[in-house]
Amino acid sequence: MLTWLWKRLSNGGAEARVSGRALRRFPEREVERLLRARVLIEQRKADNWPVCAHCDCGLDARPIRRIGDEIRACCPHDAAEDVALTEDDLKRYSVDGEHLAGEIAASGGLVGGVVRMDDGVWLIGKAPSGYAMVLCNNPDRLEAPGMILALKAAVGGTRVALIATAIEATIAIRWREAGISVLDFSEVMIPDQSGADRLDLARILAEPHVAATSSDAAASRTARLMISRSRRSVQLDGRDFVLSLTEFDCFLGAAEKVAAGQVMLTYQELYALTNRATHRDVINELRDKLQKQGLTREQAFDLVKTVHGRGLTISLPGQDIDIRD
């Protein structure tokens, strides 16, 4: 339910409204809990209803009337077009963004309160991994002058991770270049065993690395992508891929950037690695080779992504990449 409300808030802005009819899909106890938490705020009941899609009555809305025990949205021309309603159909609720952000933070066990940084941008606490978490449903505000500096100042040097919905690639790149992790909301909100939404950051942000106590074998079990420079080998999710010298240098260069917390391998750096003037040919050859060895076209393009006009990247979290000599 938290995910559904967040999407409504993202699409509707500060004036997001939901109806009692829409809320019937969720358990009544969950709706009541969010009412008590002031995430949902009951508004005045509806006193009119949309007109028929094909009606030419000239009305902006049809009236709602109580006829005996029935509630009906009445068509002025054809009683057969009347809509039978319930009390839930008439209920209207607004969605409070700050309280919803607080519930999302609580679902993930974040420590600290919610602080509003800007319209649709909240600092929602600190994750067990040590990251200060920022939640945003208004990506336009991420381009506001001084926003990155303001957030960094607010957390006092703590690492920052941004959770956003439908963030544009160019904005995400700018935030990553500033040293801020960018996560998609849909990837970090998952249903738990009871079906309730929960903020799950364990898969995305690892605990801070204090000491190298794990063996190489243990590390290899956790990394999705393993690359050996000396053997020029690539293994993804347990599957081996054989690449040409140029393809391997391209792939390794991009993976090294991501593993080091950087955004991408620039086209200039790619040229220096491969000495190939046309970067598109190198990238296409790499994707084609991945497809010939088992990936679908969509998987190959999702793994090896281009940043328009700038370079290419490997779309895996840095902690999922293990590069060895």
Position 206 confidence tier, pLDDT thresholds 50, 70, 90: very low
Query: pLDDT tens, 231-265?
Result: 888 888 888 888 888 888 889 888 888 887 777 88
Residue 325 has pLDDT above 80, yes or no: no
pLDDT confidence of residue 187? 79
The residue that leads in pLDDT, 64 or 160, is 160
Poorest-pLDDT segment among 15-19, 194-198, 216-220: 216-220
The residue that leads in pLDDT, 139 or 210, is 139
The residue that leads in pLDDT, 75 or 214, is 75
pLDDT confidence of residue 5? 87
CA-based nearest residue to 129, from 199, 195, 189: 199
**Is residue 315 within 8 Å of residue 264, measured between CB atoms?**
no
pLDDT confidence of residue 205? 55
Position 222 confidence tier, pLDDT thresholds 50, 70, 90: low
Measure the CA–CA gap between 20 and 22, rounded to whole angstroms.
5
Measure the CA–CA gap between 251 and 231, rounded to whole angstroms.
14
Query: pLDDT tens, 98-157?
Result: 899 999 998 888 888 888 888 888 999 888 778 889 998 888 888 888 888 888 888 887
**Is residue 183 within 8 Å of residue 196, measured between CB atoms?**
no
Mean pLDDT over each residue of the chain, to the nearest integer: 79
pLDDT confidence of residue 27? 84
The tokens for 287 are 């994707």
The class level of CATH for 216-324 reads mainly alpha
Measure the CA–CA gap between 161 and 131, rounded to whole angstroms.
6
- For β-strands 160-164 and 181-184, DSSP reports them as parallel
Query: pLDDT tens, 40-97?
Result: 888 887 676 666 666 666 666 777 778 777 777 777 777 777 777 777 777 888 888 8
pLDDT confidence of residue 185? 85
Position 208 confidence tier, pLDDT thresholds 50, 70, 90: very low
- For β-strands 92-95 and 40-42, DSSP reports them as antiparallel
Helix runs in 213-278, H state only: 216-222, 245-259, 267-274
Q: What pTM did the predictor assign?
A: 0.55
- For β-strands 160-164 and 132-136, DSSP reports them as parallel
Residue 13 has pLDDT above 70, yes or no: no
CA-based nearest residue to 147, from 116, 124, 107: 116
Poorest-pLDDT segment among 37-46, 49-58, 156-165, 273-282: 49-58
Domain range summary for the chain, segments of one domain joined by +: 16-94, 97-199, 216-324
Q: Please give the share of the chain, as a percent, with pLDDT higher than 90.
A: 2
pLDDT confidence of residue 207? 41
pLDDT confidence of residue 146? 84
CA-based nearest residue to 310, from 276, 265, 246, 257: 265
Position 277 confidence tier, pLDDT thresholds 50, 70, 90: low
Q: What is the mean pLDDT of residues 190-201?
A: 73
